[in-house]
Amino acid sequence: MSQPRKPIRWTLRVRPYARPQDARSVLEALLTFLPFAGLWAGAAWAAGHLAWAVPALDLAAALFLVRVFILQHDAGHGSFFQRAAWNDRLGFWAGVLTLTPYAHWRLTHARHHATSGNLDKRGVGDVHTLTLAEYLKAPPRRRLLYRLYRHPLTMFLLGPIAIFMLGYRLPLGYGGDRPAVRRGVALTNLALLGLWTGIALFLGWRVFLLVYLPVQYLAGMIGVFLFYVQHQFEDAYWEEDPDWQYLRAAMEGSSYLKLPRPLDWLTGHIGFHHVHHLAPKIPSYRLAEAHREVAWMQAAPTVTLRDALGVAFADLHLYDQKKGRLVGFKDAARILAARKLKACPATPTPSR
């Protein structure tokens, strides 16, 4: 898509929205944590009395846990409360609920914002994406591993386990050697150990297996889905240094996921992902306002929920730098087949 018209000093245009309102933030927190606790408690009670109601209560609790993650997400950007200490306290304890070590996640997520859509700085806080040329040059084993990684079953069914339940338990990858990160991971794990022990001792393993784990898994699935579809659409922006541009990465590399209003609220308005990438200091509860009132923000690619379900299962896994868009494994297979045919032409039939 063409680059949106850039207003003079666009940062001044979005700055009025990038101001957290502490009273509003407290209200948003209450409207998130209290229903989550109530639904979780209801599911725990139903596990011993109304087993048929547990799945529905688990799903409802998982949606509110996604909202808990969005509050943690705001805190990580310093956009939920005006005071950094309040953001960090909220972020840490929300991170315990979402299985996410706050300090480490905040560091990698900041890197994601600074490099989203940059072909030369991939690999931190993003969905790993190869270019078409890289895939074609890769040996068969690496191509197979990449195809397995990008398969929807891996991404959406195994991804929540690999990321939230296992990966976040160790200070792996970017920033993992920093003392503050290691300490944050250790403290989160210690708090989780206490939480898990408390659930097992006072509520029983039945509640842990039927409520705690399913709620975490469902929330993780929803979170992975949201992140994936908001960056992995056909015309998503990718560019090499030094041509990479922050504005284009935000407005063309992040979609506006247009959700029904209840889902928009439950997911903390993260569907306005282009606004968030453009100005991460805007609190989640002001993203829709900024999108509505700053007209040029509406130029971002719009994806409906139906579109998003299609994107999640579409064959769009490789960035074609020549075409400037994502292409699929089928496109790569045709190129590989053509190369093989060219290298080994058919043997002519001898004449009689």
Read off the pLDDT of residues 16-38 as tens digits, 9 standing for 90 and up: 999 999 999 999 999 999 999 99
Q: Per-residue pLDDT averaged across 320-349, rounded?
A: 87
SS (H, E, C) 98-154: CCCCHHHHHHHHHHHHHHCCEHHHCCCCCCCCEEHHHHHHCCHHHHHHHHHHHCHHH
pLDDT digit string (tens) for 72-87?
A: 999 999 999 999 999 9
High-pLDDT (> 70) share of the chain, %: 95
Cα torsion 177, 183, 187, 189 to 10°: value is 20
Domain count, the chain: 1
Q: Per-residue pLDDT averaged across 288-299, rounded?
A: 92
Q: Answer yes or no: is 3 within a domain.
A: no
Helix (H, G, I), strand (E, B), or coil: what is residue 320? strand
Of 298, 314, 250, the residue nearest 118 (C-alpha)? 250
Q: Per-residue pLDDT averaged across 87-101, rounded?
A: 98
State the residue range of the domain holding 32: 19-341
Of 192, 177, 129, 155, the residue nearest 318 (C-alpha)? 129
Q: Which tokens hold the place of 257?
A: 């996921």
Which pLDDT value is given to residue 13?
A: 83
Tell me how far apart the alpha carbons of residues 311 and 132 are, in angstroms, rounded to a whole number: 18
Q: Answer yes or no: is 257 within a domain.
A: yes
Which pLDDT value is given to residue 350?
A: 59
Q: Which tokens hold the place of 160?
A: 């929540």
pLDDT at 14 over 90: no
Tell me how far apart the alpha carbons of residues 106 and 72 are, in angstroms, rounded to a whole number: 9
Which pLDDT value is given to residue 232?
A: 92
* Cα of 165 vs its chain's centroid, Å: 15
Which pLDDT value is given to residue 8?
A: 45
pLDDT at 341 over 90: no
Q: Answer yes or no: is 165 within a domain.
A: yes
Q: Answer yes or no: is 2 within a domain.
A: no
pLDDT at 7 over 50: no
pLDDT at 1 over 50: no
pLDDT digit string (tens) for 106-141?
A: 999 999 999 999 999 998 999 999 999 999 999 999
Helix (H, G, I), strand (E, B), or coil: what is residue 176? coil
pLDDT top residue among 298 and 81: 81
Q: Answer yes or no: is 41 within a domain.
A: yes
Cα torsion 238, 242, 246, 252 to 10°: value is -30
CB 79 within 8 A of CB 71: no
Q: Per-residue pLDDT averaged across 269-277, rounded?
A: 96
Of 117, 78, 75, the residue nearest 98 (C-alpha)? 75
User: Residue 340: which pLDDT band, with cuts at 50, 70 and 90?
Assistant: confident
Which pLDDT value is given to residue 12?
A: 77
Q: Per-residue pLDDT averaged across 179-193, rounded?
A: 97
pLDDT top residue among 213 and 342: 213
Q: Answer yes or no: is 5 within a domain.
A: no
pLDDT digit string (tens) for 192-210?
A: 999 999 999 999 999 999 9
C-alpha distances (whole Å) from 55 to each of 205, 245, 291, 315 are: 17, 45, 35, 31
Tell me how far apart the alpha carbons of residues 151 and 163 are, in angstroms, rounded to a whole number: 16
* Cα of 157 vs its chain's centroid, Å: 14
Q: Answer yes or no: is 6 within a domain.
A: no
Q: Answer yes or no: is 13 within a domain.
A: no
pLDDT at 9 over 80: no
Which pLDDT value is given to residue 189?
A: 98
User: Residue 10: which pLDDT band, with cuts at 50, 70 and 90?
Assistant: confident
Q: Which of 16-20, 54-58, 93-97 has the lowest mean pLDDT?
A: 16-20
Q: Which tokens hold the place of 151?
A: 């398969």
* Cα of 77 vs its chain's centroid, Å: 15
* Main-chain dihedrals φ then ψ at residue 113, nearest 5 degrees: -65, -35
For residue 297, the 8-state DSSP code is: G
